[in-house]
Amino acid sequence: MNEIPVTMTVNGEDRAATIEPRLTLADYLRSECGLTGTHLACEHGACGACTVLVDGAAQRSCLVFAVQAQGAEITTVEGLAEAPGEPTAVQRAFEDCYGLQCGFCTPGFVVSVTAFLRDNPEPDDREIREALSGNLCRCTGYGGIYAAVRQAAAELAEAQGGAS
């Protein structure tokens, strides 16, 4: 069989497996790691539901083969919060602002928005809209999602200010 050993860190945990090269990182996370928070819809890069952090950068896990993640540090939506029951500011904001209905797209949005606010803590309106353009939601109409980004940005800014 054409299988290759691969090791990577997923949400801080070392993982090793022997897999077919055509297995995508998304399928690896779901089937080998049991982390089903990473959702798959289009499987060709258009919808963003499968977004995870690869060495800190938000990427489509359906467009990365798991063997390519050899040695990488992966963070999925399950790995964002410090502990179960302690959602991040971004996760709380999605709940508070009705940024989700069925929740299918939510993990991708939460991961994307987390990376976006880390790199751009004081986004303007246009930047938020542009950042959200890479994720598709078929339920909410984006108003709540936009509001969630605003709330999370404000809360993170306050936490920053409070800390210094």
Question: Which residues in the 16-35 window bind another protein by CB under 8 A?
Answer: 20-22, 24, 27
Question: What DSSP string runs through 41-104?
Answer: SSSSSSS-TTEEEETTEEEEGGGSBGGGGTT-EEE-GGGSSSSTT---HHHHHHHHTT--SS-S
Q: What is residue 24's DSSP assignment?
A: B
Residue 103 interacts with which of ligand FAD, another protein, ligand FES, none, CB < 5 to 8 Å by class: ligand FES
Nearer to ligand FAD, 93 or 105 (CB): 105
- Closest distance to ligand FES from the beta carbon of 54 (Å): 13
Of positions 15, 96, 101, 147, contacts ligand FES by CB under 6 A: 101
Q: 44: buried, middle or exposed (CB in 10 Å: 19+, 13-18, 0-12)?
A: exposed
Of positions 96, 134, 146, 147, contacts another protein by CB under 8 A: 134
- Site residues for ligand FES per CB under 6 A: 40-43, 45-50, 60, 62, 100-106, 137-140
